[in-house]
Amino acid sequence: MTTETAPIRKNSLYVSSSVFIWRSMLHSLRNTEALIMAIVLPIMLMLLFTYVFGGAIDPGGEYVNYVVPGIILLCAGYGSSSTAVDVATDMTNGIIDRFRTMPIPSIHVITGHVVASLCRNLVATGVVIGVALLVGYRPITSITAWLAAVAIIILFILTLTWLYAAIGLVAGSPAAASGYGFVLLFLPYLSSAFVPTETMPNWLQTVAENQPITPVIETIRALLSGNAVGDHIWWAIGWCVLILAGAIVWATATFHRKAGNR
């Protein structure tokens, strides 16, 4: 037998993904504490590294020109880590079951969070650059290099956000998601973000020079100071694309595996 099916129009991919983006954007805007943190943290870090540590690291006062790419990535790390919590919260709430039983590609719940994270982080990046300019940052560069730097930053944010989304899916609860995500926040410190790797002990140098964040930092730094990017840019893109692809596959697989197993 067949029951008469109600006249439900098949939804376009565009509509469902834009609805989920709208939803995540509203979440971001309404989560006041997180929003304030996203704006205040870049300001604090920028001031901290310029005025507190800067003098000791480089008494010449040039440190601000060195540290800006590092602060951008550090803030991107903090900014995208909330994606893990957002995703984990959705997965532990009954709403995910409702989305899953609707004739829509429910994975767009996750892409909604990713897009919102990208927007939040670009704002934070803007704040970092703004504050940096106020405290004496003087990038020497062309428009094309700026655009290239922004493109690398976007790629980095997407990579990190998808990774955090996967962590949020794997974690059993929002609190666990926040805990696991914390580990990743330390990576920028073990790179050339804040001090040249040559100043580190030998064993740490090997780690720092070969971890994914260092080429990203070096690429952005070179682009913003008018130097040649060399091999760094290919390493940066390579690492990001590899991790991004892995994170998307991991997240999608986990999303489907966890269906109904709350």
Partner 1 sequence: MTQLAIEISGLKKKFADKVVLNGIDLEVPVGKIFALLGPNGAGKTTLIHILSTLVPADAGSARIAGYDIISQKEEVKQAISLTGQFAAIDEMLTAEENLWMMGRLSGLSRSESRARARELLEQFDLTEVASKRVKPFSGGMRRRLDLAVSLVVHKPILFLDEPTTGLDTRSRRTLWDAILQLTDEGVTVFLTTQYLEEADQLADTIAVVHAGKIVAHGTADDLKSQIGGEVVELRDEHDVVIKEIPTGGSIHEIKQILDSLEKNTTSEGTRISIRRPSLEDVFLNLTTKEREESLR
Chain contacts with partner 1 (rule: CB under 8 A): 1-6, 8-11, 15-16, 19, 22-23, 26-27, 30-31, 93-95, 97-104, 259-261
73, two tokens:
């990535």
Contacts of 161 (CB under 8 A, 6+ apart): 80, 83, 113, 114, 117, 118, 121
Q: Which is nearer to partner 1, 8 or 56 (CB)?
A: 8
Q: Report, in Å, the least distance between residue 123 CB and partner 1.
A: 19
Q: Report, in Å, the least distance between residue 100 CB and partner 1.
A: 6
Q: Which is nearer to partner 1, 31 or 178 (CB)?
A: 31
Q: Report, in Å, the least distance between residue 177 CB and partner 1.
A: 17
Q: Which is nearer to partner 1, 9 or 143 (CB)?
A: 9
Q: Long-range contacts of range 146-149, CB-CB < 8 Å, 24 or more positions apart? A: 146/223, 146/224, 148/223, 149/219, 149/220, 149/223, 149/224
CA distance linking residue 98 with residue 109, whole number of Å: 12
CB neighbours of residue 203 within 10 Å: 8
Q: Which is nearer to partner 1, 2 or 202 (CB)?
A: 2
Encoded amino acid at 164, one letter = Y
Q: Report, in Å, the least distance between residue 226 CB and partner 1.
A: 44
Q: Which is nearer to partner 1, 52 or 95 (CB)?
A: 95
Measured in residues, the chain has a length of 262
CA distance linking residue 71 with residue 222, whole number of Å: 15
Q: Report, in Å, the least distance between residue 162 CB and partner 1.
A: 22
